């Protein structure tokens, strides 16, 4: 898919999305699962339109599979808490999964990714506040595959890229 016109993108933190299940779940001992293994499961997920939900929904649609989302939460750590309490299983970015003995993480056979970044408008000159923010980001965030300061400067002239690998 094409990037939205008029935006620049600075990728900050790509994170693999994994399956999170309660420790006693039937899949808890598995190292990896396919999406087809999950069609009978009950899911905790995020509202339609959230970036991580979109990634998972598109993966299931591409395989022509359906899943049953019975609980929607608006905050990433709440998703892990719901799984720990046994309300369902969830796909979560690895960066938000707590170290909790009640949870197990399982790789997804077809890797899923969630991208966090900064999008800025190409139609106007960056404000002093935006330049200061990008400088702050460059000083505190390790931008994947690039010198952070150079990446922040370059982001002011680069269009946004797709959040879906391979597109």
Q: Tell which wins on pLDDT, 156 or 33.
A: 33
138 touches 151 (CB < 8 A): yes
- Whole-angstrom Cα distance, residue 108 to residue 83? 17
Of 61, 65, 90, 54, which Cα lies nearest the Cα of 162? 54
Instruction: Write out pLDDT tens, residues 26-75.
Output: 999 999 999 999 999 999 999 999 989 999 999 999 999 999 999 999 99
pTM of the predicted model as reported, rounded to 2 decimal places: 0.75
């Amino acid at each position: 898919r094409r990037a939205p016109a008029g935006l620049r993108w600075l990728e900050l933190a790509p994170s693999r999305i994994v399956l999170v299940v309660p420790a006693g779940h039937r899949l808890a001992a598995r190292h990896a699962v396919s999406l087809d293994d999950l069609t009978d499961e009950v899911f905790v997920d995020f509202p339609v339109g959230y970036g991580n939900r979109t990634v998972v929904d598109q993966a299931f649609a591409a395989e022509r599979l359906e899943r049953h989302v019975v609980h929607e939460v608006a905050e990433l750590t709440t998703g892990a808490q719901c799984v720990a309490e046994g309300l369902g299983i969830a796909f979560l970015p690895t960066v938000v999964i707590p170290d909790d003995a009640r949870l197990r993480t399982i790789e997804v056979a077809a890797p899923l990714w969630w991208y966090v970044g900064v999008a800025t408008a190409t139609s106007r000159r960056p404000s002093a506040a935006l330049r200061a923010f990008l400088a702050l980001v460059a000083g505190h965030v390790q931008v994947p595959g690039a010198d952070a300061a150079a990446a922040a400067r370059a982001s002011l002239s680069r269009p946004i890229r797709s959040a879906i690998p391979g597109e």
